[in-house]
Amino acid sequence: MPEMLDSQADLDLDTPHPRVRGMTTLDRAAFTKEVVVPALRVKKDVLPKVMKSIKGLLLQRPGLKRIVDDPGDEGRRLILLDPHQIPADSSLGEAEQEVLKGFDVSPEVLKYNLELTYDNFKVEEVLQAVLPEGQEVTTAFSRIGHIAHLNLRDHQLPYRHLIGQVIIDKNPGLTCAVNKTNIINSAYRNFKMEVLAGEEANMVTKVKEHYITYEFDFSKVYWNPRLCTEHSRITGLLKPGDFLFDVFAGVGPFAVPAAKKKCIVFANDLNPESYHWLQHNCKLNKVDQKVCVFNLDGRDFLEGPVKEALMQQLALKERKHALHIVMNLPAMAIEFLDVFRHLLDGEPGSTDLPTVHCYSFSKQDEPARDVQERAEARLGTSLEGRCSVELVRNVAPHKEMMRISFPIPAEVLYKERPSPAGAGDLQEPASKRLRPSEESPEQTEKEPVQES
């Protein structure tokens, strides 16, 4: 039977039992504890009115019942109150007492032994109770369909399997938790991962982004839900009939929505798995007839299909549609920009040249300047006043993901025209001629194969 509230009772609703400290294998039963909360005994027929009148005093903990049976009286119920709202002497204020008097309810505050279990605690409360005191608790993760993708710190690794299981338990719909075990450094832009908890066999998942569905094997391709806004930002620039050349297309987060907008899309990825799921997602979203899909190195894609399409489009005198080239491989996309140097012969039919959207990481104090200078070095020309550099997201402390957008300058894209007849007889002064020991400015070293 409920008793008078003891001011020394355990009122902590937010902390599991201290015995869970240091646990590395999840034991849900060990989190159970009893706390004492204040309660009022109220007749059943006035319950709703009383609760409405003392709303500010009610127990506020999500997931806990505010009304429980009174074991000593079937005609009454116990209303559980917030222990932090009741004074140490367990007395209610005069205003509350007057309210209760109007409903013939005793103002006597009783104590009720409330059992809290693992299910009643939040993720951060569980992990704060388990990890050593004073250590940082990270509860953030990326959700990729049914998979939770974590990037755990070194001090959290001994508890990684417990952390993974807690994340699954507390987030409906998740059935698997993985931790990245190395950086994205392969040519195929995937990374090694460890399954922390849940299903190990099923890495094929489904996600939705801006009402478009994508399916892929997360263990074999690249997907980052934090780029959702950037995908929308770029596709928002496109109009029906525009051309999009996606050099590092992945599973299609730029290509598919562009095709949905009735753009003409050329999409490429070196990773055979990404190529497979890119084709799959085009069919899944019924745009497979609008997207030309390639499985090439980025440089070969630019020097082949993209060059051919640009020559055709730029030769048109009355072209109405814009040309966009997306290069989302921030670890090294800038190194591919030299492909555009003298890529085309002849002259453009219009001044509306292709716009490049190139992504890059930067660890410099001035990331925008850093990215612009590196792009200029690869292009061999200044972009001052001809480009925009925007922050996409903060990747890590002192590491930013940036996007530089610019129309390719004509002097970069087109080969220099031969000198007019007779001009070859005019020679530069000897002081300006290239000495045999000097390197030609046109010489550029061959780039490595595409990596991430």
* Rounded Cα–Cα distance for residues 215 and 276 (Å): 11
* Rounded Cα–Cα distance for residues 112 and 81 (Å): 10
Identify whether the C-beta of residue 264 lies closer than 8 Å to the C-beta of residue 244: yes
Mean pLDDT in residue range 428-433? 38
Q: In this predicted model, which residue has the larger pLDDT, 237 or 396?
A: 237
Q: How many CA atoms lie within 13 A of 443 on its CB side?
A: 3
Identify whether the C-beta of residue 180 lies closer than 8 Å to the C-beta of residue 188: no
Categorize the per-residue pLDDT at 190 as very low, low, confident or very high, splitting at 50, 70 and 90: low
* Rounded Cα–Cα distance for residues 244 and 89 (Å): 71
Mean pLDDT in residue range 264-268? 98
Q: In this predicted model, which residue has the larger pLDDT, 450 or 42?
A: 42
pLDDT in tens, 303-338: 999 999 999 999 888 888 999 999 999 999 999 999
Identify whether the C-beta of residue 150 lies closer than 8 Å to the C-beta of residue 159: no
Mean pLDDT in residue range 384-399? 94
Q: Check pLDDT > 70 for residue 422.
A: no
Identify whether the C-beta of residue 341 lies closer than 8 Å to the C-beta of residue 303: no
Chain centroid, CA 138 distance in Å? 16
Identify whether the C-beta of residue 197 lies closer than 8 Å to the C-beta of residue 161: yes
H/E stretch holding 388: strand 388-396
* Rounded Cα–Cα distance for residues 329 and 189 (Å): 9
Give the pLDDT score at 185: 53
Give the pLDDT score at 71: 87
Q: Check pLDDT > 50 for residue 449.
A: no
pTM, 2 dp: 0.80
pLDDT in tens, 268-307: 999 999 999 999 999 999 999 999 999 999 999 999 999 9
Give the pLDDT score at 296: 97
- DSSP string spanning 151-178? ---GGGGGGHHHHHHHHHHHSTT--EEE
Give the pLDDT score at 420: 55
Closest CA to 378 of 400, 401, 406, 399: 406
Give the pLDDT score at 229: 96
Chain centroid, CA 393 distance in Å? 9
pLDDT in tens, 76-96: 999 999 988 887 667 788 888
Mean pLDDT over each residue of the chain, to the nearest integer: 88
